[in-house]
Structure 1
Amino acid sequence: MESVTKRLTEFSLEAHDLYLNQSVPYLEEPPDPLQFYRDWIGPNKPCIIRNAISHWPALSRWTPDYLREKVGSKVISVAVTPNGYADAVNGDRFVMPEERRMSFSSVLDVIEGKVQVSGVLYVQKQCSNLLDELPELTDDVEPHVSWMSAALGKLPDAVNFWLGEAGAVTSMHKDHYENLYCVISGEKTFILLPPTDRPFIPYGPLDPSGPSGPRPGPVPTVPESSASALQREGRRDAVPAVPVVPPRPAVPRLHRSELLVRHGVRHQIQLLPAAGDTV
């Protein structure tokens, strides 16, 4: 085990030195689809693209007053957590957020500080909620990013609208999508770990029945040691227990009108009018 762990560590360090960028590169304009596939999708590397969505009306239209006028009365799904962490390990348990139905205006009231509520609000559905819950806003954005769709040979599986307070945080996870994160307003910080660092993320067992009924049960603490390096990712009874910082994670911060490309196997677009940090 010690020998395998040593080799995995060397592999991770070599990948950072020879293959992975020390930081997420910026492109100053949208790439040609073939070039994009060759330079970024094929190598499975993230990048930040400027001037890719600057022509979208949403960048100038999506003010609180405009959103109230267009969709203020719409009732949408909102994740509510006590500390901003949704779908996260909290103490010895894996906790999902409360799903609350609220009017869009009520969410804006909280985000703007006009109304005080307990907990942190985050509109974070991943089921193409822009199209399903907020179709009135679709004219303000393009239905898909043409060069990305051309590179992948398909349209997006989902187009999502996320809106959150500064304290909203997404727990460490792995997406199965080719993600485009488009920041309309505010900023969002990402901590990106390459696949070569996966062996150093320990997993702990999860009892789906829990100690007193059908809800998430305790997650024991997993020590930050090389003994956890070879926990198999495919286990269905395991969840991330302790995030271990890799040798050199990339930490890009997206600002207004910037677009982050993050890789998986399917295609979705995330529209971020405002958000907190994501891990």
Structure 2
Amino acid sequence: MSGCNLPGAAVSETNSCWADMMALLPKSKEDLKLEFSDKIERSVIMLLQQAGELFYGDRRTECLQTSEIIIDYTWEKLNTGTWRDVDKEWRQVYSYGCLFKALCLCGGEGGDVAEAVRVCDMGLLMGASILGNILVEVIRVLRKHHPRGERSTEGRDGEPSKKKSRSEPPSIPTVPLETAVPRLHCPSLEYFKNSYLVPQKPVILEGTVDHWPCMKKWSLDYIEEIAGCRTVPVELGSRYTDAEWSQTLMTVSEFIRNYIVNEQNNVGYLAQHQLFDQIPELRQDICIPDYCCLGEGDEDDITINAWFGPSGTISPLHQDPQQNFLVQVIGRKYIQLYSPQESESLYPHETHLLHNTSQVDVENPDTTQFPKFAEAAFQSCILNPGQVLFIPVKYWHYVRALDISFSVSFWWS
């Protein structure tokens, strides 16, 4: 499969693209208003103002150099200490640096559009919104005028990609009737609230998302068409509790080619809460479940997560701090659920970082080390496309993908 194969445009098309790009920006450097508090060093603010002057003065080569200095300096600020301690203004400075660099990269005939998109994505992932979330709009304009080229069937070595055959098919667990999560077809808000939300009981909802565009549109080909050239964070490792687990950045096309199509050791997983903000085209294909209106917060308080990976991907037994609707779009998942009352028998990690995660390997437990686990009561299910699993707050859940899988979860209070 190709990465972000964005061909060079004709001069007229380039001019049209640039006109659309400039329409997104303030009309002059004075209107840019690069103003920050004293948390941002004066020398950095002066660099930003210089970049603005160079850009509006049509000195793009010098602007590109200045923007790279800004990005390099703020990158150190973003990666020093914990993420929650990074001031929003430093993230905005980083986004401005990415904006200027992206504009300079794609300006003129023969510009590096693929790299400009990557830079914008870095601003969206690591920065903060500026100028009405302009980085999203810059990408939209670039993709409109430089549409993706024909899909390639070549792998990294230049040979056609061939799906590796598995030595063993994934095991499909049996779900006994007595432990199966109950299923309901389109329950009323009142019935769901009284029977499952208030008493905090898991349930599978059917028929509630059949009308979502993603249920008919999403496939590997569609996801690559919409998002193939976009840079996203990918988790490497079979589960986040493993010592070799890490994160890296790659394009969606690279992820699909290396970890979905070629099944490279089944260790790649795209788990992201920013994906739908970063790629609005995918966000348009899903909806907030109606049952979320029973919560206390506003729609803006709902966190939407994407979970995309090959079969065999595992989320260890863990609990989340909010109510959760897990919507299965592509593939199937096997899930085990344990009530918070069983917490003592699930042996949570003692470290603060993993206190919400069990030490037990659910499908291969060490009963000598964790003797109480065998007595813990649980429910289980195989979640199919179009089904929605309600996971009450603090309910422990273990998840294993049985197929190539794309799920969307909604965390709400």
Q: TM-score range by the shorter chain?
A: 0.5 to 0.7
**Structure 2 CA distance for aligned equivalents of residues 60 and 138 of structure 1:** 14
1:256 alignment partner, one of 371, 380, 385: 385
Q: Given the superposition, is the C-alpha separation of residues 204 and 27 from structure 1 closer, same or farther in structure 2, using an over 3 Å criterion?
A: closer
Structure number with the higher helix fraction is 2
Structure 1 position 150 matched with structure 2 position 307 = no
Q: Which moved more, 1:57-66 or 1:43-52?
A: 57-66
Question: What's 1:106 paired with?
Answer: 254
Q: Given the superposition, is the C-alpha separation of residues 96 and 196 from structure 1 closer, same or farther in structure 2, using an over 3 Å criterion?
A: farther
Q: Which amino acid aligns with 2:250?
A: M
1:178 alignment partner, one of 309, 317, 323: 323
- Report deviation, 1:67: 1.3
Preserved contact between residue 259 and residue 267 of structure 2 (Cα < 8 Å):
no
Structure 1 position 61 matched with structure 2 position 217 = yes
Report SS of the residue matched to 1:192: strand
Question: What's 1:124 paired with?
Answer: 271
Q: Which amino acid aligns with 2:282?
A: L
2:336 alignment partner, one of 191, 201, 208: 191
Preserved contact between residue 76 and residue 133 of structure 1 (Cα < 8 Å):
no
Report SS of the residue matched to 2:211: coil
Percent identity between the two aligned chains: 20
Question: What's 2:281 paired with?
Answer: 136
**Structure 2 CA distance for aligned equivalents of residues 203 and 118 of structure 1:** 28
1:25 alignment partner, one of 178, 182, 191: 182
Number of matched pairs: 207
Structure 2 stretches lacking a partner, 5+ long? 1-177, 354-365, 395-400, 408-413
**Structure 1 CA distance for aligned equivalents of residues 352 and 284 of structure 2:** 45
Preserved contact between residue 36 and residue 151 of structure 1 (Cα < 8 Å):
no
Q: Which moved more, 1:115-124 or 1:58-67?
A: 115-124
Question: What's 2:202 paired with?
Answer: 46
- Report deviation, 1:159: 0.7
RMSD over aligned Cα atoms: 2.7
Preserved contact between residue 193 and residue 246 of structure 1 (Cα < 8 Å):
no
Preserved contact between residue 266 and residue 313 of structure 2 (Cα < 8 Å):
no
Structure 1 position 223 matched with structure 2 position 369 = yes
Q: Given the superposition, is the C-alpha separation of residues 202 and 102 from structure 1 closer, same or farther in structure 2, using an over 3 Å criterion?
A: same
- Report deviation, 1:225: 4.4
Greater Cα radius of gyration, structure 1 or 2: 2
Question: What's 1:165 paired with?
Answer: 310
- Report deviation, 1:66: 1.4
Structure number with the higher strand fraction is 1
**Structure 2 CA distance for aligned equivalents of residues 168 and 116 of structure 1:** 11
